[in-house]
Amino acid sequence: IRRTTVPQIARRKGGEPIVSLTSYHAHTAAIVDKHADFILVGDSLGMVMHGMESTVGVPLDLMIMHGKAVVRGTKKALIVVDMPFGTYEESPNIAFRNAAKIMKETGCGAVKLEGGKRMAETIRFLTERGIPVMAHIGLTPQSSHVLGGFKTQGRDEDSWPLHEEDARAVSEAGAFAVVLEGMVEPLAAKITKQIDIPTIGIGASAECDGQILVLEDMLGLNPWTPKFVKVYGQLGPMIEQAVSDYAEDVKSRAFPTEDQVYR
Ligand code: KIV
Ligand code: NA
């Protein structure tokens, strides 16, 4: 294995922070690959790439299609592919079948699934059979219909023990890392200290062992910027300027010119 391995990520616990971003297609993934320890092909691609309202409708085939593109476009980072809603919750057997399909068809190195204590048995089942699992707790978008939306977790200190229990359960079940999404800082800090595997934060403070963001969010391509996102590049306005310049040039016949014409 020439790419960053699962044990290499796991060993980063408490060390130099782990760098990660999402990617859904080959050209952006190739750029991210130069700087990220792992790349997540997240089911957020349902919204970002396909205009869906939530991740609930994302099919397995779509994850596999984008997973393949990202594996082809990269050579260094560990590639983690999200298991979409409905493909793993029912039983460890069904989860294994679908996770194996994702790994075989995309060539990714690990899968990610949402859920804490309730998914521990499945995480163990997969890990013992050769499929590394990244867990995802706190704000879990695939459960937004039950939770009543996307809410920051841990604002009420009474809820902390449940989240801590989730973190311990996935760690003890063999997950090699866990995403903490949408969580107040003191809870993320507490969990990070309590478990032996790296925590990867998104909206969960710098107390985590690493960070992840949705690439399009940090590039300024999302018209709405959530509080936890820092925008590192204004690609939205840049693309708009380029498209409008092109439109002007076509209308005025300023494009194509000599340089772009075959003689
Ligand atoms: O789907 C996704 O992009 C994710 C990250 C936000 C962790 O799960
Ligand atoms: Na996701």
Q: Is residue 81 part of a domain?
A: yes
**Residues 65 and 107 both lie in one domain:** yes
Pairwise CA distance, residues 244 & 171, whole Å: 50
Range of the domain at 211: 6-232
82 is in an annotated binding site: yes
Q: What is the pLDDT of residue 88?
A: 98
Q: What is the pLDDT of residue 6?
A: 98
Q: What is the pLDDT of residue 142?
A: 97
Q: What is the pLDDT of residue 180?
A: 98
**Residues 218 and 241 both lie in one domain:** no
Please report where in the chains the tokens 């060390």 appear, as a residue.
15
Protein residue whose Cα sits closest to atom 5 of ligand 1: 42
**Residues 227 and 240 both lie in one domain:** no
Q: What is the pLDDT of residue 20?
A: 98
Q: Is residue 204 part of a domain?
A: yes
Q: What is the pLDDT of residue 56?
A: 97
Protein residue whose Cα sits closest to atom 3 of ligand 1: 42
**Residues 167 and 259 both lie in one domain:** no
Q: Is residue 224 part of a domain?
A: yes
Q: What is the pLDDT of residue 149?
A: 87
**Residue ranges of the chain whose pLDDT lies below 70:** 1
**Residues 115 and 240 both lie in one domain:** no
Write down the catalytic residue from 16, 90, 128, 181. Answer: 181
Answer whether 46 contacts ligand 1 (Cβ < 6 A).
no
Answer whether 142 contacts ligand 1 (Cβ < 6 A).
no
What pLDDT digit, counting tens, does each position of 121-171 carry? 999 999 999 999 999 999 999 999 998 888 999 999 999 999 999 999 999
C-alpha 220 to ligand 1 mean position (Å): 17
Q: Is residue 149 part of a domain?
A: yes
42 in helix, strand or coil? coil
16 is in an annotated binding site: no
**Residues 131 and 245 both lie in one domain:** no
190 is in an annotated binding site: no
Burial of 244 from C-beta contacts in 10 A (0-12 / 13-18 / 19+) = exposed
Q: How many domains does the chain have?
A: 2
Ligand nearest to the Cα of 21, by number: 1
Q: Is residue 215 part of a domain?
A: yes
**Residues 91 and 188 both lie in one domain:** yes
Q: What is the pLDDT of residue 2?
A: 87
Answer whether 43 contacts ligand 1 (Cβ < 6 A).
yes
